Structure 1
C-alpha cells in the first residue's frame, strides 16, 4: 500500500526535526524582535529591569542539564511537544502581562520551553540522522530556520505597520502557531521508539573533554559577538536601526544559500578541516573588529562573523561520531549548559573592559579563537568512538 504524502511526513523523523526547528524559530524570532520596543513602549522598563529580564532568560539555558532528570519520567519525543507548548504559550501571553513581574514570569516560561526544545532538538538530530548525511541535513535545517526567521520578521512588519496590530496580538499569533503545532505534532506524528536507550544520569565523561572544551569556547565567542559586535556598529559608527535590520536580512539570506553548502563541505572534508577554517576565520574577524575604522569593512566583518558560526554544525557532527549512542541525550544537555556558562558572567566582565577599551574586548575574543585553533589540531581526520582525539592511539 502506497503511503500518502501526509503519512510520509508524519512517519518521518527528519520531517519532525524540521517542524521542531521551524516552530522554535516562529516563537523565538517574534519574541526577540519585539522585546526591546515592547518593554520600553508598553511596559516602561528601565535599564535595570531589562537587565534582570535578560538574566532570567539565560537561566533555563544554564540549567539545560536538568532535561536528563525530566527524561527519567517522560519520553524524549513527548518532552519535545511539552517544550514546544511552553515556548508557544510563554510567547503568546507575553503581551498580556506588560509589567515587570508579568514579563519576568512569561520570559521564564518561554525560555524554559525554548532551551529544553533546543537541547532535545540537538539530541534527537544526532540520534536519528545517519552520520554521513547529518552535516548535509543539519545545513538544510539551518537554511530553513533562516527562511522562517526572515518570514516572521516580514509578517511582523506587515501586521504592525499596515494592519496596526497591537503588540499583544502579534505575540499571540506567533506564540499560538507554535502551541498549535505542538498539539498537531503530538497527535499526528508517529511516536518513534528509542533504538538506543539513553543514559538518564548526568555525567561528564573524560572521553568527550575536547568536545566540552570547544563547546565552552564557542559559547564564550558567541557571547562576544551577540553582545558587543552590534553594539560596536551602533556606538562607534552610529549605525541606525534600519541598517541593523538590513544586516540581519542579509545574514539570513546568505545563510539560506550557504548553510546547505557548508553542510556538504563538512560531509566531504570532515570536521577537523571545517572547524579549523571556522576558528582561523574568527581569529581574523575578531582582531579586525578590534582595529576597524571603516564602516563598510565593519559591515563585512559582521556578515562574515555570522556566516562562520554556521560552520558550528561540524562540532555537533564531531560529537556524533565519537559518542557512545546511549550518551547523546545526556551529553547534549550537559554541553548546552557548558555553552551557557559564559553567558552568566562574560557580558558583565567584558562590559567593564569595554569601558576601558573597545579593542581589548575583541582581542580577548581573538585569543579565545586562537585557543580553539590550537585545540582543533587534536581532532582526528576520521574521529570515532575510541579515537576521540589525536592524543589517543587509534584502535
Structure 2
C-alpha cells in the first residue's frame, strides 16, 4: 500500500523539501564532478581521443538532453519525486562503469548511460525546485542548493587531488567510488524521505505557449554557448597547456570553492536586482571571458578565466526564476522538459561541428561563443523589471493574456 502524501507545508526539520533537494543536489554533483574531473585526461590518456572524438562524445552526451521533453510522458507512470531518484541511480551507474570500458565505443556507451540519468534528473529537479520553493525567496534557496552541490564537488575534487598520486589510483576505481556513492545517496533519499503532495497538479502533456517565447529563446542561446565552455574550455587546459589530472582537479576544486562562496550571494543579488539586471551582468561578463579565451597564452590566466566563466553561470538562476514568475503553475513540469530539449537543440550539433573547427582554429571557437553571448545579452534586455503573467517581455504586443478571474 503506497504511503500517504505529505503536504509541503507540513514537512518540517530535515524532512523539508529544501533539504531533500539539497541531498539530491549533492548526489548529482558528486557523480558529475567525478566524471568531469577525469574526462579530458581519461579521453586523451586512456582512450587517445583527439578533438574529433571528444566532439562526438560530447554530442552523444547531449542527445538525452535533447530528448528531455519525454520526461513528461514518464510522469504518466511515476511520480516526479521518484523519477528524480531513479535518474540519480542511472547517473551513478553510468559513472561507476566508465573506467571499465576504456575504448572509444565503451566510453561513448557509458557516457550515454550517465547522461540519461543526468539530464532526466536536471529536468525533474528544476521542476521540483520551482514547485516546492516559494517565489519570494526561491533565488536565495536555489543559490544555497548550488552551494551544496559545490560542497559535494569540492569533496570529490579534493579526494581525487590528494589521493591520485599518493595512492596511485586508476581511472576505474575513482569512477566506481564516485558513481557508487551517488547510488547509495539516491537509495537513502528513496527510503528515508516522504512523498510530497504538490500544491498544483502538473499537466502530463507537452506545453508550448507563445507567451513563453523569450524564455525559450534565452534557453536556446544558453545551451548553445554553454557547450563551448563545457566541451572546449577544459579540453584546452589539457591539450594546449598540458594540465595533468591533479592540475585539472585542482582547478576544478578552486572553482567549486569559489562557487560555494559566491552562489548564495548570487541568489541574494538576484532577489535585489531582479532577473533582468542579473542576466545582463552575466552576458556582458561572458562576452569578455570568451574573447579572452581566444587569445590567452598563459596557463594561470586561462585557469582564472575558467573560474570567472563558471561563476557567471550561477546567474542562470535568474533565467529559471524569470520563468517561475511568468508561468502558469501547472505548466512547470512539462515546460521543464521542453526547455531542456530546447537548451540541447544546438548542444547536440555544436560539439561535433566545433570540434572540427577546433582542429583548424581553437580561437574561432571561443570568438563564436562571444557572439552567442552577445545575442543572449540582447534577449535579456527584453525582460521587464517586474515579470509576471501578462507581462512577460518589454515588447507589449508579444505578451500573453492574464488568466480569467475565477467565478
- Global fold match (TM > 0.5): yes
More off after superposition, 254-263 vs 51-60: 51-60
Matched, 1:349 2:349: no
The match for 2:198 is 194
Once the 2 structures are TM-superposed, how far is the Cα of residue 261 of structure 1 from its aligned partner?
A: 0.7
Q: Does 1:287 align with 2:295?
A: no
Match of 2:310 in 1: 306
What is the alpha-carbon distance in structure 1 between the residues aligned to residue 396 and residue 180 of structure 2?
50
1:124 corresponds to: 128
* 2:68 alignment partner in structure 1: 64
Determine if contact 1:219/1:343 at 8 Å carries over to the other structure. Answer: yes
Alignment counterpart, residue 113 of structure 1, candidates 110, 117, 135: 117
Instruction: Please give the alpha-carbon distance, in whole angstroms, between the structure 2 residues aligned to 1:65 and 1:82.
Output: 17
Q: TM-score, normalization: structure 2?
A: 0.86
Task: Tell me how far 1:332 sits from its aligned partner.
Answer: 0.9
Question: Could you tell me whether the CA contact under 8 Å between 1:198 and 1:330 is conserved in 2?
Answer: yes
- Which of residues 240, 243, 259 is equivalent to 1:240? 243
Q: Aligned runs of 1:85-100 on 2, under 5 Å?
A: 85-100=89-104
- The match for 2:147 among 139, 143, 163 is 143
CA distance in 1, matches of 2:49, 2:56: 10
Match of 1:370 in 2: 374
Deviates more, 1:134-143 or 1:151-160: 151-160
Query: CA 1:200–1:300 in 2, change beyond 3 Å: closer, same or farther?
Result: same
Q: Which residue of 2 aligns with 1:4?
A: none
| Cα distance per residue 1:218-265 (max 9 Å; x no partner) | 1111112223334445555x3533544433222211111111111100
Deviations 1:252-283 (A, max 9, x none): 11111111111100011100110111111122
| Residue of structure 2 in register with 1:18 after alignment | 22
Q: How many Å separate the matches in 1 of 2:77 and 2:273?
A: 40
CA distance in 2, matches of 1:10, 1:186: 14
Indicate whether 1:386 and 2:390 are aligned. Answer: yes
Matched residue, 1:269:
273
**Unmatched segments (≥5 aa) in structure 2:** 1-10, 403-407
SS at match of 2:385: coil
From 145, 155, 160, give the equivalent of 2:159: 155
Deviations 1:355-389 (A, max 9, x none): 45444333322222222122112101110112111
Over the residues paired in the alignment, what is the CA RMSD in angstroms?
2.5
**2:45 and 2:298 mapped to 1: Cα distance?**
33
Deviations along 1:26-79, whole A, 9 cap, x unmatched? Answer: 11222232344446666x555476555443322211111110111111110111
Change (3 A) 1:286 1:89: closer
Partners of 1:89 and 1:179 within 8 A in 2 = yes
Per the TM alignment, residue 331 of structure 1 is displaced from its structure 2 partner at its CA by 0.8
How much does 1:301 deviate?
2.7
Per the TM alignment, residue 117 of structure 1 is displaced from its structure 2 partner at its CA by: 0.8
Q: Which residue of 1 aligns with 2:7?
A: none
Q: Does structure 2 conserve the Cα–Cα contact (< 8 Å) formed by 1:10 and 1:189?
A: no
| CA gap 1:256/1:55 in 2 versus in 1, 3 angstroms | same
Residues 179-206 of structure 1: per-residue CA shift (max 9 Å, x gap): 1222221121110112111111123211
Residue 203 (structure 1) aligned to one of 207, 210, 216 = 207
Specify which of 254, 257, 263 is matched with residue 253 of structure 1.
Answer: 257
Q: Quick one: distance in 1 between partners of 2:299 and 2:77?
A: 53
Unaligned runs of 5+ in 1: 1-6
Q: Following the alignment from structure 2 to structure 1, what is the Cα–Cα distance between the partners of residues 292 and 57?
A: 32
Partner of 1:318: 322
Q: 1:330 aligns with which of 329, 334, 349?
A: 334
Deviation at 1:308, TM superposition (A): 1.1
Shift of 1:392: 2.7
Distance 1:160 1:69 in 2: 42
Conserved 8 A contact 2:326-2:389: yes
